[in-house]
Structure 1
Amino acid sequence: MANLVLIGAPGAGKGTQAERLVRDHGLLHISTGDLLRRAIAAGTPLGQKAKAAVDDGKLVPDEVVIGLVNESLSQKTDAQGFILDGFPRTLEQATALEVLLEEMSEPLHHVIVFEIPIVSLADRIAQRAAQSRGSGADVRSDDNAEALSRRVDEFARATVALLPFYDQRNLVRRIDATQSIEDVATQIGSLFAK
């Protein structure tokens, strides 16, 4: 069992690797992006707040995200580890998560940082949007150059501030996210051998 946080800019490959970790290790995948998209689609009050922020390329308010994460973590089995994908994104969220996990007697094992140059992200986002269109699926409202630019700025400003917080707890594991999906998976898999 492992409890993980995945941190990386939009398009860095967190979702792809999370799917593999679920398949290979049976972890509960808590993607705040997925939680928020479901809340938005359902038109819940939290979903409406989230939609306004997502459409503007801004971070969703902490109270909305923390509530959704808390609800999801309460659904996991005792022996099941988890992946937090897209949360925490701010120091306030990281602090709230730490308190929540202490209350649940759940340790955090690794904070995996997906390192990738910002210039590579636009191509990945464009490819993801093209794949969605090609398969007949809806293209995410934030899969465009303008929203990406805002999201990367938010990531750089807010999320990078998390690294000292997790460095102090000796949890940060950096991986080279420019490599192939298989190579990135191998880097992450090596953490389970430790």
Structure 2
Amino acid sequence: MTVIPGLVRRAAAEAERHLREGVGLLARLGRDLERSAELGRILPALTERLKILEETVRDQDAELRAARAELRGLRTELDSLVAQLNDRLLPRIDERMDDAERDLAAVATSLIRTGRDTAGNGTRLEVAERRIADLRTKIAQLEQRTGLWRDLQAGMARLGDDLDAMRARMALRAAADPSPDAAPAPVQNITDRPA
């Protein structure tokens, strides 16, 4: 008879184990139902947020298109300005430098011919030296202006390259599917090159 109480204990333990598993399963199902109900309550808010994000993306796309159009207009104006400046200023600067060099050569030639023997020639020499100094100053100023102009041209060219690079980045950004939380890159980081 000792076998039957052992079997009864095993059957009772097995039944208790099944009951505990069933209670655990019911508790998990209850939590899943609560989560489903909570997700059902959150769904309209998420749908509304998605609509807001879509509108924001549309607005940003319109702003980017407007910025691209403005950049194209700016690039056209910039190219026109550079062409006008090249046509108007550079030929005159080169002419002035040529005139100054001719004057300097004429003064130097006259100094060589005149010599420094007489007192009158000494006065002429001083006048000629002052004129040479003035001409050298003018040549230095013209060379400085020419250098500044060429620096300006290089800066304009870099600005044009930066505008092209920014256009290319905007095209890549518009082509890619941007995440709604991604912020646009700041404008001051257009280029990695030093000015």
Output the TM-score relative to the length of structure 2.
0.17
Higher share of residues assigned helix: 2
Higher share of residues assigned strand: 1
Larger radius of gyration: 2
Query: Taking CA–CA contacts closer than 8 Å with sequence separation of 6 or more, which of the two structures ends up with the larger relative contact order?
Result: 1
